[in-house]
């Protein structure tokens, strides 16, 4: 497992700034969301304009989730690993399956749980929920099709001496853009922000999983067609609370 | 007609709630930009609002403190707490808020909560 990235400048001031920033962004998202709702309430709105407004709402949701995830990540780093409580990984998956279509109103998303253990508890608290939702969102985002099919497995795994659970998301049509494979994430973690464009989700997944003592791997499925991706989120096994 | 007092320090948020609630048939009987102003307006009004929509982070007096004061004056007053800070939910409910909505929310969700509360008013 790779080392957790160094913490740069995480101090009271940056936490305070993040807090203020997220508060203001969410307030602005509130205004955008509500005005779009007003637009959509017009029964005479033509279909194309309605479609645009609905797409804009989905982007407000994405923006909100990005801010909340960043805020939660900052809070978790400040609180430290002793604050992480056990969470049922399957429950996080079910929440994400319910939530993810709201971010992609024009896509048809089918999720098939092919391997589902009982009592797959991991250390992570709310951050694990964020991670799982983030993984689903990024998996759908990397699939260019209008119809997305994702297979989900939760399997036992080991990281050195640690017993873990791994959440595996597979999509035969997803395409990883250059730099999105896990072996390329080092470019992101070296803080070359010219390469971070559109990769905030991946960076979040990588940092948050390391923070929880696990890892996040994004790789090609090796179908030979240039398509097919698999995300593996591994988190440390915890006892049932 | 359900009457509402809107409390938020952001002018654009106050205008937004006011416009939408008026369009949906609610009577916006007042607005306030901090907890202290809300408390003063509440004290000075002969007709109390059916519902107060209360933000948390505001200058002078925050939403939790304002809610505590208002509930102390009138324990049956209905306050719906709205905040971008989900961590404040417990504090808001302990202060006497009848309900909580994290920002951003859909106005239909706010109206549903207002209707639910008004039925028991």
Q: Which of A78, A94, A122 is the last residue of a domain?
A: A78
Nearest CA in chain A to B101: A30
- CA dist B103 and B94 (Å) reads 19
Question: Between A and B, how many residue pairs show a Cβ–Cβ distance under 8 A?
Answer: 41
**Architecture of domain B3-118 in this structure:** 3-Layer(aba) Sandwich (3.40)
Q: Please tell me whether residues A128 and A148 are part of one structural domain.
A: yes
Residues of B in contact with A64 (CB under 8 A): 104
A56 & A90 share domain? no
Q: Which residues of A touch B12 (CB under 8 A)?
A: 31
The answer, yes or no, to whether residue B55 has pLDDT greater than 90, is yes
- Taking the CA of residue A137 and the nearest CA in chain B, the distance in Å comes to 19
Instruction: For residue B23, list chain A residues with Cβ-Cβ distance below 8 A.
Output: 38
Instruction: Identify any residues that bridge with B78 across adjacent strands, giving them in sequence order.
Output: B51
Write the burial class of residue A215 (CB in 10 Å: 0-12 exposed, 13-18 middle, 19+ buried).
buried
Spans of all domains in chain B:
3-118
Whether residue A130 is found in the same domain as residue A47: no
Least confident of A43-47, A103-107, A193-197: A193-197
Q: Give residue A72's domain range.
A: 7-78
* Same-domain check for residues A120 and A220: yes
B60 CA: distance to closest CA in chain A (Å): 17
Quote the minimal CA–CA distance from A108 to chain B in Å: 23
H or E element that contains A185: helix A185-189
E strands, B1-121, in order: 3-7, 27-32, 51-54, 78-83, 99-102
Nearest CA distance, B46 vs chain A (angstrom): 31
Residue A222 to residues A60, A142, A171, A174, Cα–Cα distance (Å): 34, 16, 12, 12
Shared-domain flag, residues A50 and A105: no
pLDDT of residue A88: 93
Chain B residues with CB under 8 Å of A18 CB are: none
Interface of A with B (CB under 8 A): 22-23, 26-27, 29-35, 37-38, 60, 64
- Radius of gyration from C-alpha coordinates of chain B: 13
Whether residues A191 and A110 share a domain: the answer is yes
Query: Shortest CB distance from A30 goes to which of B13, B19, B57?
Result: B13
Q: How far apart are CA A119 and CA A102, in angstroms?
A: 28
A72 and A116, same domain (yes or no): no
Number of domains in chain A: 2
A37:B23 CB<8 A: no
Predicted local confidence at residue A6, as pLDDT: 44
Q: What is the pTM of this model?
A: 0.70
Euclidean distance between the first and the last CA atom of chain B, given in angstroms as a whole number: 12
pLDDT at residue A178 greater than cutoff 70? no
Q: How far is CA B36 from the centre of its chain?
A: 13
Per-residue confidence (pLDDT) for residue A186, from 0 to 100? 60
Please determine, for residue B80, whether its predicted confidence score (pLDDT) is greater than 70.
yes
In DSSP notation, A47-108 reads: HHHHHHHHHHHHHHHHHHHHHHHHHHHHHHHHH-GGG--EEEHHHHHHHHHHHGGGG-TTSE
How does DSSP classify residue A46?
-
Share of chain A above pLDDT 90, in %: 34
A66, A147: one domain:
no
Residue ending a domain, choose from A35, A60, A78: A78
Task: Give the integer Cα–Cα distance in Å for B105 and B99.
Answer: 13
Q: Please list, in sequence order, all residues whose beta carbon lies within 8 angstroms of the beta carbon of residue A42, skipping any fewer than 6 positions away.
A: none
**Does the pLDDT of residue A173 top 80, yes or no?**
yes
Is the peptide bond preceding residue B104 cis, with omega within 30 degrees of 0? yes
* Facing residue for A60 by CB, picked from B19, B84, B104: B104
Q: Are residues A206 and A105 in the same domain?
A: yes
Per-residue DSSP letter, A183: G
Question: Per residue in A139-155, pLDDT tens?
Answer: 998 888 899 999 999 99
What is the largest distance, in Å, between two alpha-carbon atoms of chain A? 63
Query: Which of B103, B107, B108, B109 is the best substitution to test chain A (most A C-beta atoms within 10 A)?
Result: B103
Asked whether residue A46 falls in the same domain as residue A164, the answer is no
| A chain contacts of residue B85, beta-carbon cutoff 8 Å | 23
- Which range, A15-29, A37-51, A117-131, is most confident? A37-51
Q: What is the pLDDT of residues A53-74, one digit of tens each?
A: 998 998 898 889 888 888 888 8
In a domain, A198, yes or no: yes
For the ranges B2-6, B12-16, B69-73, B115-119, the lowest mean pLDDT is seen at: B115-119
- A136 and A227: one domain? yes
Cα separation, A23 vs B3, whole angstroms: 28
Residues 6+ positions from A25 with CB-CB distance below 8 Å: A63, A64, A67
Give the number of other Cβ atoms within 10 Å of residue A240's Cβ: 9
């Amino acid at each position: 497992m790779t080392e957790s990235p160094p913490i740069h400048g995480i101090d009271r001031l940056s936490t305070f700034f993040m807090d203020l920033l997220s508060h203001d962004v969410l307030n602005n998202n509130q205004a955008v969301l509500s005005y779009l709702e007003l637009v959509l309430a017009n029964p005479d709105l033509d279909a194309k304009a309605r479609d645009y407004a609905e797409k804009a709402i989905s982007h407000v949701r994405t923006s909100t989730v990005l801010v909340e995830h960043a805020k939660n990540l900052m809070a978790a780093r400040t609180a430290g690993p002793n604050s992480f409580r056990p969470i049922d990984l399957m429950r996080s998956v079910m929440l994400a399956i319910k939530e993810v279509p709201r971010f992609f109103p024009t896509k048809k998303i089918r999720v098939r749980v092919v391997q589902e253990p009982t009592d797959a508890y991991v250390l992570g608290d709310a951050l694990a929920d964020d991670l799982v939702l983030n993984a689903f969102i990024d998996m759908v985002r990397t699939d260019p099709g209008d119809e997305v099919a994702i297979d989900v497995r939760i399997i036992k795994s080991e990281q050195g001496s640690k017993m873990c659970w791994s959440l595996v998301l597979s999509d035969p049509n997803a395409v990883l853009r250059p730099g999105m494979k896990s072996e390329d994430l080092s470019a992101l973690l070296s803080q070359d922000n010219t390469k971070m464009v559109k990769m905030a989700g991946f960076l979040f997944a990588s940092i948050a999983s390391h923070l929880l003592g696990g890892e996040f791997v994004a790789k090609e499925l090796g179908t030979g067609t240039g398509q097919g991706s698999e995300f593996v989120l591994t988190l440390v096994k915890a006892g049932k609370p | 007609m359900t009457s509402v007092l809107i409390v938020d320090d952001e002018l654009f948020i106050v205008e937004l709630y006011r416009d939408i609630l008026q369009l949906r048939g609610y009577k916006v009987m007042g607005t306030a930009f901090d907890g202290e102003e809300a408390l003063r307006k509440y004290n000075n009004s002969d007709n109390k609002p059916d519902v107060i929509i209360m933000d948390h982070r505001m200058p002078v007096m925050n939403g939790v403190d304002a809610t505590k004061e208002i509930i102390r004056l009138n324990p049956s007053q209905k306050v719906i707490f709205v905040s971008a800070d989900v961590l404040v939910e417990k504090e808001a409910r302990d202060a006497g808020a009848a309900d909580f909505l994290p920002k951003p929310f859909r106005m239909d969700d706010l109206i549903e909560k207002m209707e639910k509360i008004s039925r028991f008013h």
